[in-house]
Chain A
Amino acid sequence: MNWKRKDLLDIRDLSKEEMLFILDTAESFKDISKREIKKVPTLRGKTVITLFYEPSTRTRTSFEIAAKRLSADTINISANTSSATKGESLKDTARNLESMRPDAIVIRHSMPGAPHMLARILDSSIINGGDGSHEHPTQALLDLFTIREKKGRTDGLKIVMVGDIAHSRVARSNIFSLKNFGNEVICCGPPTMIPPHIETLGVHVEYDLEKAVRNADVIMMLRIQKERGGTKYIPSTKEYSTLYGLTKKHVDRAADDVIVMHPGPMNRGIEIMDEVADGPSSVILDQVENGVAVRMAILYLLIGGEP
């Protein structure tokens, strides 16, 4: 297929074909990171800006490494060092950056729709690096890539998501992609963290973690979103940990070849115990590794010109 999009804003918009095309493209890039010289000239002369209004370790580093391995120049801007603290609006910041003619802008923002706003006003390719509680499309794609790598398929799986579904952009993006591929998705968490009407997305809700994980092929753990008021929805993190912290006992109830995923950063001892995070089912570091390949693919497809 031919890639036609200027921006990557949300998973809800993408077809299965588009997602698979990104995954296939990522396969061919995964190799590069294993070579001694981890660089190809594909995006030489292109400029990628990462504009992060929220803290990030993985996503920003991952994008920067992805861009650099494709020989693009990268500039990182984070809100605390930019004009945001001087009161410049997002729109003005973006237009100023655009004047310096970048090819792509990766934006992370605490407010849903911020990347969409930039996409409307800028000619550069906009990549959503996470917008509030809305979406985190590159995370969902690297998760899908990891699932395909470990399970050999992207459909017909029983997938359990555990945690603050309501405030998680990772959950939203993953629900959209995984339901699109026809998987069974079960959302598990305290009822205060499950958004109303979520069944309309075709997912099942199970408040009891022990029941939810039974025969699961994939367990996706989510972090409590403290910065989005996540702790208001539970009496204490201790109680949360007792009810929803993933232990080896839970993993044992799942399918024999279950994989445990986490988008990071992990709160060890709260939503996930060490024995699981570092256990044989964990693919958490594979997710991080695959993130680079998937982001290389996305950058290549958006700003790499004709394939």
Chain B
Amino acid sequence: MKTLIRGGHLIDPKTSRDGIYDILIEDSVIREVSDAIRKTDGKTQVVDASGCIVAPGLIDVHCHLREPGFEYKETILTGTSAAVRGGFTTIVCMANTDPVNDSRSVTEFIIDKARTEGKCKVLPCGAITRGLKGEELAEIGEMFSAGIIAISDDGRSVRNAGLMRKALEYAKTFKIPVISHCEDTMLSGGYVHEGTASLLNGLEGIPAIAEELMVQRDIAIARYVDAPIHITHISTGGSVDIIQTARKTFRKVACDTCPHYFSLTDEATLTFDTNTKVNPPLRSGKDVEAIKEGLRKGVIDIIATDHAPHEYTSKDVEFDLATFGISGFETAFALSLNLVREGVLDMAELLKKMTANPAKLLGVDSGTIAEGAPADIIIFDPDREWTVDRNLFLSKGKNTPFHGAALRGRNLFTMVDGKIMFNELK
């Protein structure tokens, strides 16, 4: 089976290609990339990408698929359907399912389910500690042999510093990233950013230092044991500064942020809209600017979604009681494209943070459009205007603070391993 993607503007950060190219795909692999591929046999499927940008499929290092256990929030089928619509071809799902992904059997279940029902590549992230309880290490080696790509107790920090040290050391054997959600819960325990929102609304605050102290701690531990660490979903200017400073003497620190941390400030929470409730919380205007600056300077390597779908009823309650999280797959790319229009990043830089950089973190061979690479490809129109309608989400999670927002830029076509999984061209 051959597919020819013709006439599109290819931007591939890894190979630095930026121009009109044709791409020939055979089965699941990219066979040829050149200025003009004319010869096609009658059986070749031709996709006209003219007027659009062609890029490697996006890679998300942080999402929640909720299966097993919370199928009423999302399933591997609905989550990956939303992902491919959003332009993602590889996604890393966090371990906070029920049961927690802290054992070989759960990892195998997710991988099997994704193979049969998934629309894109699903790489499970295993728990650092059994049951995410922060008390003892999970069977990381067992999960690794079953296919986990990383470990994380996402949703919380490993509170015991000694245990975090052991996790960072232990993970070295498998050369998998340790992804850290940084939050000192002795300082947090609130619902919105401690600042304007908590001051005006009287909601309990989550101060920036709850994140920053833990970023400091985890980098210090990683440095001490000389192990790589990936700090996920950073939301404050302080975190950007800490990571930038640490990197000068310790290269093994990487980090990501999410579209909502550079798109919304804590003022969005003033209406008590529970769809703005997310952890870490939406921060101040100054933090938002610092996050953008961190992206521009390259301190923040990766943009992740932290896609966190929830059922309607868990958000349709008092703000204090509502679940944390934003359903992000179907808005993440358009929100990120704003960075290009605002001049924070150019298109290649943005795509690098959503393709080549996450591929490098995870050690996968996708994230590029080159001969021999897996045929994970998207075609998008960076200027297509559309209005977010959560009721049209393929994700079960309709929990978005961007409902009704006018966005620009839309993914139109997603190919995973040579198969067209989403097509809205024409």
Contact = CB atoms under 8 A, between A and B. Distances in A.
A12 B318 CA distance: 20
Interface in B304-321: 316-321
A279 interface: no
A201 B195 CA distance: 12
B199 interface: yes
B203 interface: yes
A85 interface: no
Contacts of A172: 200, 202
Contact of A196 (B199, B200, B271, B321): B199
A134 interface: yes
B403 to A, nearest CB: 14
Among B202, B316, B317, B318, find the residue whose CB has the most chain A CB atoms closer than 10 A.
B202
B201 A117 contact: no
A167 B202 CA distance: 7
A200 B203 contact: no
A217 B321 CA distance: 41
A169 B199 CA distance: 11
A112 interface: yes
B199 A200 contact: yes
A12 B200 contact: yes
A198 B199 contact: yes
Contacts of B271: 116
Contacts of B204: 133
B195 A197 contact: yes
A135 B195 contact: no
B317 A133 contact: no
Contacts, number: 58
Contact of A195 (B199, B316, B318, B321): B199
Given A90-B318, A91-B317, A112 B272 contact: yes
Interface string A118-134: 00000000000001111
A268 to B, nearest CB: 26
Nearest to B272: A113
A89 B320 CA distance: 13
B196 interface: yes
Contacts of A201: 199
A111 B272 CA distance: 11
A60 to B, nearest CB: 20
A109 interface: yes
A112 B317 contact: no
A195 B199 CA distance: 7
A89 B319 contact: no
Contacts of B194: 196
A200 B202 contact: no
Contact of B202 (A91, A169, A197): A169
A198 B195 CA distance: 9
A251 B320 CA distance: 39
A133 B202 contact: yes
B198 interface: yes
A114 interface: yes
28 contacts: A12-B200, A89-B317, A90-B317, A91-B317, A111-B319, A111-B321, A112-B201, A112-B203, A112-B272, A112-B319, A113-B203, A113-B319, A114-B318, A116-B271, A117-B272, A131-B202, A133-B203, A134-B203, A135-B202, A167-B202, A169-B202, A172-B200, A172-B202, A195-B198, A195-B199, A196-B199, A197-B195, A201-B199
Interface pairs A-B: 6 shortest CB-CB: A113-B272, A134-B202, A133-B202, A111-B318, A111-B320, A112-B202
